[in-house]
Amino acid sequence: MCVASFDFGLLSTGDRELYTQQAVVFIEDAIQYRSINHRVDASSLRMYRWYYSRICQWGLGLTIVVVLLLAFVERPSSLSVSSDPRHRSPSWEPPCGFTESIEMVCLLIFCLDLAVKSYLIGWEEFRKNKWLIGYSVIISVSVIDWVLSVSMVCDEKLRVRRLLRPFFLLQNSSLMKKTLKCIKRTLPEIARYLTPLYLGTLTPPGHLCVSVQDTKKNGEWELHFRNLPNSLTSLLVLLTTANNPDVMIPAYSLNRGYSIFFVAFSVIGTYCLMNLLTAIIYNQFRGYLLMSVQTSIIRRRLGIRAAFQVLSCLGPGEATEECVHVDAVLEVMSRVKMKSYYRAAITKHYADVGYMDCEQFRKIFDELDKDRIKEHPPLPQYSSPVLQRLQVIFSHYYLTVLGNAVALANVICICTVLVLNSEKSTTERDNYIINLCFILYYLLEMSVKIFAFSWRGYLSYRNNIFDGFLTILLLVLQITIYITYRHPHSQWDPSSHEVLSLWEMIRLVNMLIVFRFLRIIPDIKLMALVASTLLDLVKNLRAFAGILVVVYYVFAVFGIWLFEGAIKPPPEMSVHSNSSMENITSNFSMECGTYEQLGYWPNNFDDFAVILCFLFNSISSAFMEAYSRYTTSWAKIYFVCWWFTSSVMWVNLFVALILENFIYKWDRSHKCSVTDVERIRYETSVQLIFKGQIQEPTEEELLCQLHQHPHLHLHW
């Protein structure tokens, strides 16, 4: 008989409860891919489950959101209608202590979070965990910076803690940590290929080739290739095609032979180098992500094995060595927090025998690694033969095909009417009757489907929910039009009416009908795969979206530090409430193509919100040129780093993940019919994508890790 930290022959009620609670927590750890290296005594397990309860995790997540959103309210505040400095009204600045009080509450919650995590894993595990050590350092620095800020009456020039806030988001997600680790390992591979090829091969020869121009003949040439740094940034922007062919035209106007260099640069850089870089990132990142997913799978298997081991220690009255009683498993599963469909799938595998060995226990949890297949309610039973025949007709797939054809005909009618009415006045336009006929058909289709499937069966299909919602909304709009206007040729002017005019309401109806045509997507195999791939990106790749938020946040904070208030419009361009934009530029002129001439004033670094929009619009040669002119030429480093991070690194990572997700779905659905594609669209996680390539841990490896558990000391 095995012993787990206690000497027992016949177990007491307290010991039985402890082992059951340990098994419950270990299985919950396996479901969530969590480490089992935490305390396993009764009080610690209660605290552990409380900490990972939904309310605590949602509260911690809300705290992280609040502390990140403080940047929009703190000085410089983003609470103004416009970001254009020419006519931006003074933004509301919170009084000193307002945001600081909220931030201190958040920091106290983070301190409590750190204390609970540290206690649960123990001091030995805490010393090995770099993220928790970093967590404590970040909190300490933030508190010190907060004290300095309050002591200076919130008049400090630099808030270091603002730059540290994204760390709270990173450390709260294990998948985000794995993704960040994969990105860190991928970066050297990118630099190894990109830097020598671009900097060493293309830029210096390009500068030497085209910088010999006579600036007296064409002074604009000096703007792009005056020196090597200018050549570097000009060709870098050319690589993005943002300033093509502006950078080429000055040389090309003097000698057409210079087009050879620019064409060769674009072909090699844009079409070859950038696509090759995508392949490199895909290959490298995929390998690192696979290793991270391997770690997650090992955690799941270890949690299940640990649960079996503690259940096998329930004493001779309940189990023999290396076996667990089915009743003990049933009791554990009734207390585990998990999704109902997984619980049902696991419990149906229990055998009629009284005991389970290790292999049987492991196999019942294989359901966690399978896709969820949504089961639809059975069709209602009708006693009348006529109703039964109608049910067969109305539940047939061809009814959906007919509905798609009608939706297509509706969209064609709308487009035709829009073309015919383009030259007519609002009083002469009329497509009221056409829309009404189609809406009545949609209502009839919804009614017969409800008859064939019942309400529950009808609502079990996502497409029916989408169709039904739009049909009811369209019907309400048509009834509103009829009640309000009686008839489209009423005595009122259709173009001018309170709230919404007749034609505005009809345009809204047309838009909803066009959206309804999207119902055709699930019935086309390739479109269904594309749509499900996009939905999976939204549902399951939150870690990558979180890292993107971190990247934007860090660059926005640096942007405020470096360029806040750097560009100010001349006094003659200030706008008053009664001024028009035509009068603003009457006495002000700038060189064509510059920041000022293009009117890029709303794109600046004057507050946090406008920087986020600015970063989304970058990279542009006009932005780099303006901030280099108003500050220093070193400002270009900021814009180049942002381009490399967002356009080169992140876009290619996103493309790689889309490819992996789509290939996984395509391989699985290649032999499926159109109606079967929907069955594989549920719960496709990152772990499931790489499931076929993951090497399962051996029994010896799992037992070795269990022996090394810092708190569960098993004797065999």
Domains along the chain with CATH numbers: 13-174 (no CATH), 181-288 (1.10.287.70), 295-375 (1.10.238), 385-487+500-523 (1.20.120)
Mean pLDDT of 305-321: 69
Mean pLDDT of 554-565: 89
Q: What is the pLDDT of residues 188-237, one digit of tens each?
A: 766 666 655 555 555 556 555 555 555 555 554 565 666 656 666 667 66
For range 22-51, the mean pLDDT: 91
**CA distance readout (Å), 592 to 246, 272, 595:** 12, 32, 9
Closest CA to 107 of 151, 64, 160, 171: 64
Q: Choose between 142 and 433: higher pLDDT.
A: 142
Q: Beta strands 3-4 and 714-715: pairing type?
A: antiparallel
User: Above 90 in pLDDT, residue 17?
Assistant: no
Alpha helix stretches (DSSP H) within 422-519: 432-459, 462-485, 502-516
Percent of the chain with pLDDT over 90: 13
Which pLDDT score, from 0 to 100, does residue 623 have? 78
Whether residue 351 is predicted with pLDDT greater than 50 in this model: the reply is yes
Read off the pLDDT of residues 67-92 as tens digits, 9 standing for 90 and up: 999 999 988 888 887 777 777 777 78
- Gap between the Cα atoms of 223 and 231, Å rounded: 9
Which residue shows structure tokens 């797939």? Answer: 397
The model carries a pTM of 0.74
pLDDT per position as a tens digit, 86-133 = 777 777 888 888 999 999 999 999 999 999 999 999 888 898 889 999
pLDDT of 137 reads: 95
pLDDT of 76: 83
pLDDT at 322: 72
pLDDT in the model for residue 320: 45
Given a cut of 90, whether residue 624 has pLDDT beyond it is no
Mean pLDDT of 248-271: 74
CB-based contact 376:460 (threshold 8 Å): yes
Considering only residues 371 and 636, tell me which one the structure prediction assigns the higher pLDDT: 636
pLDDT digits (tens, 9 = 90+) for 604-620: 888 888 888 888 776 56
pLDDT in tens, 405-455: 888 887 788 778 777 766 665 555 555 677 778 888 888 988 988 888 888
Average pLDDT, the chain: 76
Q: Which long-range CB contacts under 8 A does 37-40 form with residues at least 24 apart?
A: 37/121, 37/125, 37/709, 37/710, 37/711, 38/120, 38/121, 38/122, 38/125, 38/711, 39/119, 39/120, 39/121, 39/122, 39/711, 40/5, 40/711, 40/712
| Highest mean pLDDT, choosing among 279-283, 381-385, 505-509, 543-547 | 381-385
Over residues 659-695, the pLDDT tens digits come to 776 776 666 665 555 445 444 444 445 566 566 666 7
Confidence of residue 640 (pLDDT cuts 50, 70, 90): confident
248, 261, 262: which is closest to 218 by C-alpha? 248
Token pair listed for 244: 């093509």
pLDDT in tens, 519-539: 676 666 666 666 666 666 666
Provide the 3-class DSSP secondary structure of residue 371. coil
Residues 146-156: what's their mean pLDDT? 87
Q: Rounded mean pLDDT of 481-487?
A: 66
| Whether residue 588 has pLDDT greater than 80 | no
